[in-house]
Chain A
């Protein structure tokens, strides 16, 4: 699913956010990405989501080179990914239903199909009754679950989450993480960036640790021949 080979990301001004990172996440695998803030977690996710391009090395998503992909193909690659943000990134001028339906609208589904899938996604995160509500009227945990419903409504192959529990209390965090585990169990690849170490330890999934831009711990299968 994801392959990083000696990936280095240097921002303008010389700051190296990632240094020779190697990793491989297989189809249907789930892993946590940990590290202090500024360790490069977000940069790694941004490279996968085609928000940033690697400076050196090779980053592959489904064997597609993310560095050389042309700009007009980017939207179609992103449709294979569901992204969950720490701050939800919901659109507050429309209902919960319209928020969740957005990826399907973009991909040109018909209304009946959109309605069916959107309700299914809302059901999965336990918010079926709230489809007509405006996001602003919901709690932080509920907003995050809407964000998750939006990320999975188009059945992506890969879920990326950047500190999805950052603003939630421990009980809510556990609930949210359990949703990710559920998706993993039906075959979706999941990569969650989080620094909630106690929660991560409980869930017993492979962990990747970044420290100052370098991968210092990797539970996933290493890529042979590319170790730095």
Chain B
């Protein structure tokens, strides 16, 4: 009944085997912690759902902002400069100037609007027809619409505007970008707001996961005591909890991705129409593969970090008595 080798210690694992066993144990902890999650589905689903919902807010904002930004980029490329010419310039000279400007660098094309046609369209569209009739002469100047090359950035457009303004025939060169500038500023503010929201919600996820792992540690108090008495190192005891946090974070990340994708589906109809109204030919976007990987990596890391905090705080306090 008793083995003769009971007291010999010659067959302890060798170093190479230990290293292999170390990796195997890491793998075991990884799968074991996933198994724990599987055996307690209610708690897990609730925790993961809370994490997912929490993460879906910043990531949803991110996708929203991404679309708005793409849209506004498209709008800025349709910038045009209106040149209101001097009233005493006749149509032939104005037309010649329009053609000349069309060949300039940085200019895509020009459109000439004669003062007569301008008055006509103004009369039709403004509803001031009767009051215009009372005027003795046409108050509108000839107008040249200059459309800059698509690739031009704001600097190039500003320079172009200045050079056009300095032309003798031009009374006023007007670049209608003020509202664009405002939009860009608002976007900048929104971007920072999303940054702050992301930070806050990442912190919330840390707290959620930290608290879940803390409860997990309390539930397995007895197990921790016993394994410590048998000679488990703190690292050994820590491992399954850390991997548990990693799983919570990763699954929460996947849930948040699903929420954003579903939310996108829900609002894509009106968004598409808005897009059409702005005459933009832009494809609406959700997460790119890169965004997806970043989302899952960061949520998994948040989970790992959150459980690390809980483990560092609570595990070392548990000692056999």
User: Which residue of chain A has its CB nearest to the CB of B320?
Assistant: A51
Contact A103–B13 (Cβ < 8 Å): no
Contact B20–A106 (Cβ < 8 Å): no
Number of B interface residues, CB 8 Å? 35
Contact with A along B209-246 (1 / 0, CB 8 A): 00000000000001101111111111010000000000
Interface 9-residue window, one of A13-21, A59-67, A75-83, A204-212: A75-83
| Residues on A with beta carbons closer than 8 Å to the beta carbon of B11 | 113
A6 and B230 alpha carbons, distance in the complex (Å): 28
On A, residues with C-beta under 8 Å from B are 28, 49, 51, 72, 75-79, 81, 83, 89, 91, 93, 102-103, 105-111, 113, 120, 123-124, 126, 150, 152, 155, 157, 182-183, 185-188
| Residues on B with beta carbons closer than 8 Å to the beta carbon of A108 | 13, 17-18, 21-22, 25
Q: A106-B236, A108-B21, A110-B13 are in contact. Are A49 and B6 (CB under 8 A)?
A: no
| Residues on A with beta carbons closer than 8 Å to the beta carbon of B135 | none
Residue B3, interface by CB 8 Å: yes
Contact B13–A113 (Cβ < 8 Å): yes
Contact A78–B231 (Cβ < 8 Å): yes
Contact A188–B7 (Cβ < 8 Å): yes
Q: A91-B223, A108-B22, A110-B24 are in contact. Are A78 and B230 (CB under 8 A)?
A: yes
Residue in contact with A124 in the complex, picked from B2, B225, B229, CB distance below 8 Å: B2
Residue in contact with B230 in the complex, picked from A109, A150, A185, CB distance below 8 Å: A150
User: Which residue of chain A has its CB nearest to the CB of B232?
Assistant: A106
Q: List 9 A-B contacts (CB under 8 A).
A: A51-B229, A51-B319, A76-B231, A89-B225, A89-B229, A108-B25, A152-B6, A155-B8, A188-B6
Residue in contact with A155 in the complex, picked from B6, B225, B226, B228, CB distance below 8 Å: B6
User: Which residue of chain B has its CB nearest to the CB of A82?
Assistant: B230
Contact A103–B2 (Cβ < 8 Å): no
| Residues on A with beta carbons closer than 8 Å to the beta carbon of B8 | 155
A187 and B7 alpha carbons, distance in the complex (Å): 6
Contact B9–A83 (Cβ < 8 Å): no
| Residues on B with beta carbons closer than 8 Å to the beta carbon of A107 | 12-13, 231
Q: How far is the CB of B232 from chain A (nearest CB, A)?
A: 5
A78 and B320 alpha carbons, distance in the complex (Å): 12
A155 and B232 alpha carbons, distance in the complex (Å): 16
Q: A75-B232, A107-B13 are in contact. Are A183 and B2 (CB under 8 A)?
A: yes
- Considering only residues 1-42 of chain B, those with a C-beta below 8 Å from chain A are 1-9, 11-13, 17-18, 20-22, 24-25
User: Which residue of chain A has its CB nearest to the CB of B39?
Assistant: A93
- Considering only residues 112-136 of chain B, those with a C-beta below 8 Å from chain A are none
Residue B96, interface by CB 8 Å: no
Residue B100, interface by CB 8 Å: no
Given contacts A102-B226, A186-B3, 20 further A-B contacts (CB under 8 A): A28-B7, A49-B229, A49-B320, A51-B320, A51-B321, A75-B233, A77-B231, A79-B231, A103-B231, A105-B25, A106-B227, A106-B231, A109-B13, A110-B17, A120-B3, A150-B230, A155-B6, A155-B7, A155-B8, A155-B9
